[in-house]
Structure 1
């Protein structure tokens, strides 16, 4: 269903119930039809007397009849004109897929239902906006009602602590982590509240392969009834599943076929696979897969169920030696989120007639904040001295340094960890050392260092 094929809702509660993924059937309201009957005037036959009437009466009657006829014709012409204009506008509105056409504010439109099937690139990482959010913003800016659907609503939340043994401060409890409002579902704190209600749902799982979804996509289509399936999968099949390009393309074809079996009119936007920082021969196999995918996609389209390519790789600023779009060589940072959403918006606009124009990339991408750890503390014992700090929301990990008191910090001795502590087992009785730590949010985004904390081995 394209933008020009939006459907009126059956009742005013349909938006909310469908946003929650109910199993009821969506119906289309018939357009109201105006029935027009000609209200013909009755001629005064009493004006005739035995087939004769006076000349003055005849002239008067002709004048009145001519006037009445003129008024009647004028009214009919106006009504017919209004009806034709309204009918023409209505037909044009519902059938013409004009990218620039705005929605009528007086018509209750059933939102497009969009299901994003993806891997970690689409699920996103704690405290990120995700490209799904940037695409949702694009729908809003183009006045296109949309509801993202799917079984999940969160990004990948970082664990509170990977350490064992000595108890550590716990700024978040299990209810905060796993509850319905888990840190606003793991997104950046400045996402719009409406996104959490209508835009955060998805079917994207960290590390997911196409092969893992083939047998379960039908159930997702049946339950959430999307109009569009946006697919960002395939990277893990090539990278970690060690599949060859031909096999990966075949898996994608099977995946699309399974989804279409459940919804013959489902529309597909399929992304190719991005390049990433150098990993073996992955760049070669990625290029081969993308070429074969481009050739195969037109063959997968069906009447009423088109399949269109999303040029993810071409839009994503990432390669073997330089990857400014990623926080770690593959997963999108703020720039990458915009670039992926841009790629999908181009396909939705050019191939499906949705929106007024593709998403425009900002002149400057927003900076990501990486908070400095708080709650720095020392836990001495006979076996070791533990340097610990509080959890930082959105931190991918931490860099921690130690030095003997009074000695310069050795920058190449920085120790990256995803735990919230460093154990100093090298310290001997009575010796003093200093520690400091900073949050690591991306390869180029890090917090300030904490002040040096002194520890003396008992």
Structure 2
């Protein structure tokens, strides 16, 4: 049994009424991965905008393994102290990580955020020395279009993230930097300039799926329409 743990911020937890990219990836792996697998994590809920809390189970299709470690407004700095226990308790084999936008927007600069990436990876490996990790670079959102200093921080962090991943990658615990979705457009793939709609969910799922297929031979290339 291969256990995948999605780790992320609001783009990963999703909100009430959504499918989430987690669901799209689960569908893909269900149809293409040759072996037993599960989505794992200490949380299951969606974010409820009405109550401003992660209390909703109203998935567009609740019939899938909903486990994750994601939180609305949470970033690398929030997840680094949690990841070791989550990996250990859920026996995760592969982390699928999409973090950084909220960090740069509200909590830490690019250099501080990169330092939290290192702390996260170190803690995760303490719980499982053979853990695999796939990390998605930050996808610039609508704020980056109107706020040049923020856009600069996003670009700098992505550069630092690439260097950090290359530096920390090791054979027994591969650390893989996924390619940003090549056709991702915040005006057509999100519903508010940040959070993915159906098109965006497929594209984020595809970038994780394709990275794992290309690097490790997991499953097949993502087949759903992502253009």
CA distance in 1, matches of 2:222, 2:135: 18
Corresponding residue of 1:139: 29
2:205 paired with 1:341: yes
1:155: Cα distance to partner?
A: 1.3
C-alpha deviation, 1:211, in angstroms: 0.8
Which structure has more helix as a fraction of its residues?
2
Aligned to 1:354: 218
- 1:154 equivalent in alignment to 2:26: no
Residue by residue over 1:137-190, the C-alpha shift from the partner in whole angstroms, topping out at 9 and shown as x without a partner, is 010110443211111112112327x9xxxxxxxxxxxxxx96xxx6xx2211xx
Aligned counterparts, 1:224-373, within 5 A: 224-241=90-107, 243-277=108-142, 278-280=145-147, 281-312=149-180, 314-318=182-186, 323-355=187-219, 357-362=220-225
Task: Give the alignment of 1:28-427 within 5 angstroms.
Answer: 111-144=1-34, 145-159=36-50, 185-188=57-60, 191=61, 193=63, 195=64, 199-241=65-107, 243-277=108-142, 278-280=145-147, 281-312=149-180, 314-318=182-186, 323-355=187-219, 357-362=220-225
Report which of the two structures shows the higher radius of gyration computed on alpha carbons.
1
Q: How far apart, CA to CA, are the structure 1 residues paired with 2:188 and 2:224? A: 15
Structure 1 stretches lacking a partner, 5+ long: 1-110, 163-176, 365-458
Q: Distance in 1 between matches of 2:117 and 2:226?
A: 35
Q: CA deviation at 1:294?
A: 1.5
Give the corresponding residue for 1:16. none
Instruction: Tell me how far apart the structure 1 counterparts of residues 212 and 183 of structure 2 sit (CA, whole Å).
Output: 15
Work out whether residues 6 and 96 of structure 2, in 8 Å CA contact, stay in contact via their aligned partners in 1. yes
- 8 Å contact kept, 1:120–1:208: yes
Does the aligned pair in 2 maintain the 1:269–1:308 contact within 8 Å? Answer: yes
Q: Which structure 2 residue ranges, 5 or more long, are not aligned?
A: none
Higher relative contact order (CA 8 A, sep 6+): 2
Taking structure 1 as reference, are residues 143 and 231 closer, same or farther at Cα in structure 2, changes over 3 Å only? closer
User: Contact 1:210–1:251 (CA<8 Å) still a contact in 2?
Assistant: yes
8 A Cα contact 2:162 2:177, kept in partner? yes
CA RMSD of aligned residues (A): 2.0
